[in-house]
Amino acid sequence: MSSNKVLYICQEIYPYLPETEESAFCRKLSQAMQERGKEIRTFMPRFGCINERRNQLHEVIRLSGMNLIINDNDHQLIIKVASITAARIQVYFIDNDDYFARKAALRDTSGNWFADNDERAIFFARGVLETVRKLRWSPSIVHCHGWFSAVVPVYLKQVFADDPVFRDVKVVVSLYDDGFEGSLDSGFASKIAGEGIDGRSLGFLSDPSYENLCRFVIESADAVVEGSAGVSPAVMEFAAASGKPLLRYDAAAGEDEVFDNYKRFYEELL
């Protein structure tokens, strides 16, 4: 395992989705770490609102074709890839007709939350990790961005814990101001348990609210990043109390300083 390999698992990346603090930062961070000598791989969901023709997405046939069972149903895993030429980085997309064909990201055109967002998040997590395993690319750091990647850390610590590709990996999670009202499907915990997940962290999902989901992801992480100034105070309080390494948001830092801090943060974990 090389200490220079970083896997980014992102809920959103600009320009494939509208520019937000999170989507812009994920794009810049991947580029910045590559420029600082890191070998990177970057993944995000292929939400149906992403224009494949304009963004020149194409399917990676050699990586596609697996079927993932989510909640006792088979779903085909499709992998696509595109390049951000100006940044000289590639982005891999996790796709599936059942979960990602709809022309929206997380809400329908009326603003209603998709009822299966929990299963979509599970499929995304499984899809990324199965693809990286198929690539036989062993990261030293896996850095998750956004609540949609929340299942990844617990998968790495339990389901994939003995896999040679992920055995020694350190998991970093970035928290953002991306909360949602209400809760995910009440069966979320049982669906994850069916994947081979157990332990006290599942108790956080008895009510899969945004804050409980963040607690769930922090519980399985090795380190936490405060990714924006607007992170829920309750979530940040839990992160600080966990005793895990914590990189705080620094609004006064220049861009180069911020990325140098991230690089240093990674290296201190290894």
Average pLDDT over residues 198-209: 85
Q: Name the average pLDDT for the chain.
A: 94
Q: Quick check: 216 pLDDT over 80?
A: yes
Query: Is residue 204 within 8 Å of residue 213, measured between CB atoms?
Result: yes
Per residue in 231-257, pLDDT (tens digit) is 999 999 999 999 999 999 999 999 999
Peptide bond into 164 cis (omega under 30): no
Nearest residue to 57 (alpha-carbon basis) of 69, 68, 48, 65: 48
pLDDT at 2: 59
pLDDT at 195: 73
pLDDT at 109: 86
Burial (0-12, 13-18, 19+ Cβ within 10 Å), 136: exposed
DSSP code per residue over 131-193: HHHHHT---SEEEEESGGGTTHHHIIIIITTT-TTTTT-EEEEEE-S---SSBS-TTHHHHHH
Q: Quick check: 196 pLDDT over 80?
A: no
Q: What percent of the chain has pLDDT over 70?
A: 99
Burial (0-12, 13-18, 19+ Cβ within 10 Å), 64: middle
Per residue in 77-136, pLDDT (tens digit) is 999 999 999 889 999 999 999 999 999 999 988 888 899 999 999 999 999 999 999 999
Geometric angle at alpha carbon 158, from 154 and 162, rounded to 5°: 135
